[in-house]
Amino acid sequence: MQQSLASDRRTTVDEIFEHLFDEISSLRLRPGDRISEAEIASRFGVSRQPVRDAFTRLANLDLLLIRPQRATEVKRFSIREIEKSRFVRAAVEAEVLRRAARNGAGSAAVSRTLDACLKRQEGAIAKSDYQRFGELDYEFHQTLCELAGVDFAFEVISTEKAKVDRLCNLGLAKEDRMPQLLDDHRAIAAAILDGDEDRAVAAGMEHLSRLDSTIAAIEATNAHYFEPDGG
């Protein structure tokens, strides 16, 4: 009985977490928006405890700011945290790309795998489907980790990526960067198939740098989305 209750509670926490994660990542909940533990509990028909647990998980991803005796709010962007996240991701991804290039050089199987990823991305662009392209971006980077023989590295990459996805979504929606990102993915794939480690890493770092202009543009037009001191 206790095991069943624990299982039900985990499912409820997961459901609330996934719902709020999607709301925040898709920017239906914007930086600085306040959310109520009581309101979420009422919406899902549960006690406050599973909501509190879901809030804690979101806070650990730097998506919520929980303050005792004050309203919980969607966390604003922090320039310092963005730089930290990108530093970690760049270090991990550089090694992933080197290994993928060593493993993928001249491989017909790797070529087919990467080509399939790119064609799915082309399909999302043809439909102007920002959300689907975002999912396929995750798929591409996960595939690179698998090709490199370090599938576990995607846990780090996806965790750090999630912290800046809201900015990426703003960039995709407002600046339509999808074709440029697809070109980056094509350059990465070509370098891997050529077995050129340095070129693969250079293409990967160029890909990560695409966020720079997005950050500058959003900060200029929506300064209230960022922490007042620059974070």
Domain ranges of the chain: 2-74, 79-225
Annotate the chain with DSSP letters as a single string.
Answer: -HHHHHHHHHHHHHHHHHHHHHHHHTTSS-TT-EE-HHHHHHHHT--HHHHHHHHHHHHHTTSEE--TTS-EEEPPB-HHHHHHHHHHHHHHHHHHHHHHHHHHTT-HHHHHHHHHHHHHHHHHHHTT-HHHHHHHHHHHHHHHHHHTT-TTHHHHHHHHHHHHHHHHHHHHHHH--HHHHHHHHHHHHHHHHHT-HHHHHHHHHHHHTTHHHHHHHHHHH-GGGB-TT--
Residue 68 pLDDT: 81
Average pLDDT, the chain: 89
Give the domain 79-225 fold.
Answer: Four Helix Bundle (Hemerythrin (Met), subunit A) (1.20.120)
Give the domain 2-74 fold.
Answer: Arc Repressor Mutant, subunit A (1.10.10)
Task: Read off the pTM.
Answer: 0.79
* Measured distance CA(138)–CA(68) in Å, rounded: 35
The residue behind tokens 């975002």 is 134
Higher-confidence residue: 199 or 178? 199
Among 24, 16, 73, 20, residue whose Cα is nearest residue 45: 16
For the stretch 7-57, pLDDT in tens is 444 679 999 999 999 899 888 899 999 999 999 999 999 999 999 999 999
Range name among 17-31, 144-158, 214-228 with the lowest pLDDT average: 214-228
Among 202, 166, 168, residue whose Cα is nearest residue 93: 202
For the stretch 97-147, pLDDT in tens is 999 999 999 999 999 999 999 999 999 999 999 889 989 999 999 999 999
Q: What is the CA radius of gyration of the chain?
A: 19
Residue burial 83-113, b: 16+ Cβ < 10 Å; e: rest: eebbeebeebbbebbbbbbeebeeeeebeeb
171 pLDDT more than 80? no
